[in-house]
Amino acid sequence: MKYLFIALALMTTIHTMSQEIALPQPQKSGGMSLMEALANRQSTREFNPDSNLSLQQLADLFWAACGYNREDKLTIPTAMNRQEISVYAIMPDGAYQYDAKNNKLVMVTDADLRTLAGMQEYSHKAFLNIAIVSDREKMPHDIFAGTDAGAVMQNIYLWCAANGVGTVTRGSFDGETLGKALKLGEKQQIILVQSVGY
């Protein structure tokens, strides 16, 4: 009986740890014009801890941030087409890596890492914090690692502006602690963390 309980507990853990969120197809038409989104773009630093984003919003946002808009190319340009950027969604029920090819979020931990997402308290209240991560093995040049991450940052800003969602990008976070919690590899570096929510 004891072994049955252990086996069941293990199976539950494995199931939870391998949880994936299949995203709906991103909506790529309609919406606010680019010029209006640019006119609305701004940083906001107040978030309601009880609000959230729908799966459709997550699908649209992550596709805008750095999804594939052609067979093998992204919504962001990357220097030498290294495609070294990955993004992680830090949400109340866990942290996930965005799998752009398969349009899904893959859980890396079921812990709520929002308190590690930034030094400023408002970031702990946002429903979503997006860690913009560079693989420095693929992209050793500091400037290009920064510019490529910046393209993701601006796509997130513009999507938020076009959809009435608040956001602010941040350089203030403890990269080492958050990187460990996100189980990043040695060569992966968090460049920015961006809070998103209402």
Ligand X SMILES: Cc1cc2nc3c(=O)[nH]c(=O)nc-3n(C[C@H](O)[C@H](O)[C@H](O)COP(=O)(O)O)c2cc1C
- Which residues of this chain interact with ligand X, rule CB under 6 A? 42-43, 45, 120, 168-172
Query: Is the Cβ–Cβ distance between 104 and 21 less than 8 Å?
Result: yes
Handedness of CA 76, 77, 81, 83 (dihedral sign): negative
Of 45 and 138, the one with the shorter C-beta distance to ligand X is: 45
Rounded to a whole number of angstroms, the minimum distance from the CB of residue 193 to ligand X is: 8
Query: Is the Cβ–Cβ distance between 101 and 71 less than 8 Å?
Result: no
Of 12 and 43, the one with the shorter C-beta distance to ligand X is: 43
Rounded to a whole number of angstroms, the minimum distance from the CB of residue 109 to ligand X is: 23
Of 78 and 195, the one with the shorter C-beta distance to ligand X is: 195
Of 100 and 132, the one with the shorter C-beta distance to ligand X is: 132
What's the angle, vertex CA 98, arms to CA 93 and CA 104, rounded to 5?
85
Rounded to a whole number of angstroms, the minimum distance from the CB of residue 25 to ligand X is: 30
Rounded to a whole number of angstroms, the minimum distance from the CB of residue 45 to ligand X is: 6
Of 129 and 169, the one with the shorter C-beta distance to ligand X is: 169
Question: Residue 157: what are its φ and ψ, rounded to 5°?
Answer: -55, -45
List b or e across 79-106, with b for residues whose CB sees 16 or more CB atoms inside 10 angstroms: eeebbbbbbbbbbeebbbbbbbeebbbe
Rounded to a whole number of angstroms, the minimum distance from the CB of residue 174 to ligand X is: 12
Of 110 and 142, the one with the shorter C-beta distance to ligand X is: 142
Rounded to a whole number of angstroms, the minimum distance from the CB of residue 38 to ligand X is: 11
